[in-house]
């Protein structure tokens, strides 16, 4: 009979566990096709993406600031 390695974690020592997070994570890892996001989460993310795209369009439609004009570059060369 082989000896079992000492562990600090009690989670791995228990053979039958129901409804534990570690079991669920392992199941999710083994069955990726059965795992789907909730409709509420998907709707929230969809709304966030639309808002982000709207902000990006708004940002790009504004004229760029005149940061580097030809006058400023000539003053530095003097």
Question: Exposure string (b/e) for 34-63, b if CB count within 10 Å is 16 or more?
Answer: eeeeeeeeeeeeeeeeeeeeeeeeeeeeee
Contact 17, 23 (CB under 8 A): yes
Residue 4 lies in a domain: no
Asked whether residue 48 is domain-assigned, the answer is yes
- Categorize the per-residue pLDDT at 22 as very low, low, confident or very high, splitting at 50, 70 and 90: confident
Average pLDDT over residues 28-33: 86
Residue 76 lies in a domain: no
Evaluate whether residue 12 is within a structural domain: no
Instruction: State how many domains the chain has.
Output: 1
Residue 51: which pLDDT band, with cuts at 50, 70 and 90?
A: very high
The verdict on residue 67 lying in a domain is no
Residue 13's contacts (CB-CB under 8 Å, 6 or more residues apart) are 7
Domain that holds residue 43: 18-60
């Amino acid at each position: 009979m082989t000896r079992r390695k000492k562990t600090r974690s009690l989670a791995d020592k228990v053979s039958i566990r129901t409804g534990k997070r570690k079991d669920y994570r392992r199941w999710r890892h083994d069955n990726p096709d059965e795992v789907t996001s909730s409709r509420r989460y998907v709707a929230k993310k969809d709304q966030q993406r639309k808002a982000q795209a709207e902000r990006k369009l708004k940002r790009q439609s504004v004229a760029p600031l005149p940061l580097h004009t030809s006058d400023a570059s000539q003053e530095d060369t003097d």
